[in-house]
Amino acid sequence: MASRKNRSGKANRRSPKTPKTRGGVLRARFGAVAAWFERRRWLAIVAGVLLLFGGSLVGGYWIAERFDTAEHDRLARDTLEEMKRGAGAGSTTAAPPQPPAKYARIEDIPGLPKYTDVEPGNPRPTHEEKPPPAGKPAQPAATAAGDQAWRRNAVPFRDLNARPLVAIVIDDVGLDRPRSKRAWELPGPMTMSFLPYAKDLREQARAARARGHELMLHLPMEPNGRNDPGPGALLVTMSDAEIRQRTAAALDSFEGFAGVNNHMGSRFTAFRPGMETVLRQLKPRGLMFLDSRTTAQSVGDQTAQELGVPGIVRHVFLDDEESLEAVRRKLAEAEALARRQGFVVAIGHPHEATLQALAEWLPTVQGKGLALAPATAVLRKRNGWD
């Protein structure tokens, strides 16, 4: 077919930008892209699998971590709520496991945390009091109620200066009820320190007080290492608000105690911000603080003095070694230290060897020229208070 001519007489040629030509170019380009993807298909599949696998690991770790945290918080919250309601008051949460009839050590009770706060080969330090500063320290300010709980709940003790004072504190009371009962049925006055997550806590505390013993709250705190101090424990990773909440719940778990001492806590008692938070809650309640000194790095006693919280310290642990002869040696050490500085605080636990050694030793105290005393009597003598 002859081409049409324009006015100049030249034939018109077909434009290269017609729709038919543009379609061919697009098909060519899409074909090139498809070929590129085809060549790299296996590479893309491998990359996708790796991305999915990595994402599942990260997501699974995040979910597990959140689940563990939520479960831990739920356990602590349920336990603290049960503590507030008191033993057996219609709780809908699962009750802590019943302790066995035969008590050996806390770590032998099924379902409860291991109780060890000292690394092997590193015994707890024995702390001897420094000479008191010259002059008579001022007594702590009275509470808003007009008196102090440590005085109100103290076992009466009159003559502070006639003889050296020996205060025996039994920690971990309440978990094993038969052996706890054996402890408070020993002659006193001694000081029974109850864990806030013990069952029938109020009932047990009343029974111990009726036998003439002084009461304390054994507040769970974080140790070094992996040992778990139990539900509601204070941890260095907690916020100030969390520490206050858990401390308040433990303080409300029962009534009639004169003060607080730490359960485990070799890590937490060395953490000054946390200890300040705890002690600031003891002060308005008029409670004393006994630093169990599960670590030489504890700042508990020093911080209590700085904040005006009445306090004492542990000098001897009776049963780091759970044998009858070992406890007897520790009691002799406590006697000697009491004669040297005028008073001593010795901490033990409701272990078989400890109970047997105390049953032998307690009737001999007076004949040795010593006076068995509650913890508040040592507080008064240490500070020169009437």
By CB neighbour count within 10 A (0-12 exposed, 13-18 middle, 19+ buried), where does 1 fall? exposed
Q: How many CB atoms lie within 10 A of CB 59?
A: 10
Q: Note the pLDDT of residue 199.
A: 95
What is the DSSP code (8-state) at residue 309? -
What pTM did the predictor assign?
A: 0.71
For residues 335-357, average pLDDT? 98
Could you tell me which residues come within 8 angstroms of residue 194 by beta carbon, excluding any fewer than 6 positions away?
173, 174, 201, 204, 205, 208, 215, 216, 217, 218, 254, 257
Could you give the residue ranges of the DSSP H alpha helices within the chain? 19-39, 41-85, 149-152, 177-184, 201-210, 240-251, 272-285, 300-307, 324-341, 352-361, 375-383
Using 50, 70 and 90 to split pLDDT, how confident is the model at 98?
Answer: very low
Separation of alpha carbons 283 and 285, rounded Å: 5
pLDDT at 78 exceeding the cut of 60 = no
Share of the chain above pLDDT 90, in %: 60
Q: Note the pLDDT of residue 25.
A: 56
Q: Note the pLDDT of residue 234.
A: 98
Which of 99, 277, 106 is CA-nearest to residue 199? 99
Separation of alpha carbons 358 and 61, rounded Å: 51
Share of the chain above pLDDT 70, in %: 63
- Give the model confidence (pLDDT) of 122-134 as tens digits: 556 667 887 655 6
pLDDT at 111 exceeding the cut of 70 = no
Q: Among 40-49, 77-86, 315-324, which is the least confidently predicted range?
A: 77-86
Using 50, 70 and 90 to split pLDDT, how confident is the model at 226?
Answer: confident
Q: Among 96-105, 340-349, 361-370, which is the least confidently predicted range?
A: 96-105
Q: Note the pLDDT of residue 130.
A: 73
- Give the distance from CA 200 to its chain's centroid: 21
Residues 48, 54, 57: CA angle, nearest 5 degrees: 140
Q: How many CB atoms lie within 10 A of CB 365?
A: 19
Q: Among 51-55, 166-170, 275-279, which is the least confidently predicted range?
A: 51-55
Mean pLDDT, all residues of the chain:
80
Which of 183, 182, 180 is CA-nearest to residue 201? 180
Residue scoring higher pLDDT (159 or 10)? 159
Q: What are the angstrom distances between the C-alpha of 170 and each of 11, 83, 248, 346, 358? A: 117, 21, 23, 9, 11
What fold does the segment set 106-126+146-383 form as a domain? TIM Barrel (3.20.20)
Q: Note the pLDDT of residue 139.
A: 58
Separation of alpha carbons 126 and 224, rounded Å: 18
For residues 219-238, average pLDDT? 95
Which string of b and e fits 13-49 if b means at least 16 CB within 10 Å? eeeeeeeeeeeeeeeeeeeeeeeeeeeeeeeeeeeee
Task: Work out the end-to-end distance of the chain between its first and last CA atoms, rounded to an integer number of angstroms.
Answer: 131
Q: Among 99-108, 187-196, 209-218, 284-293, which is the least confidently predicted range?
A: 99-108
pLDDT at 343 exceeding the cut of 90 = yes
Most confident residue range from 65-74, 119-128, 227-236: 227-236
Could you tell me which residues come within 8 angstroms of residue 224 by beta carbon, excluding any fewer than 6 positions away?
117, 119, 266, 267, 295
Q: Among 16-25, 88-97, 149-158, 229-238, which is the least confidently predicted range?
A: 88-97
User: What are the two backbone dihedrals, phi and then psi, of residue 289, each rounded to the nearest 5 degrees?
Assistant: -130, 125
Which string of b and e fits 259-286 if b means at least 16 CB within 10 Å? bbbbbbbbbbbbbeebbbbbbebbbebb
pLDDT at 351 exceeding the cut of 50 = yes
pLDDT at 358 exceeding the cut of 50 = yes
- Give the model confidence (pLDDT) of 157-196 as tens digits: 998 999 999 999 999 999 999 999 999 999 999 999 999 9
pLDDT at 302 exceeding the cut of 90 = yes
- Give the distance from CA 286 to its chain's centroid: 22
Q: Which tokens is 89 given? A: 């008051």
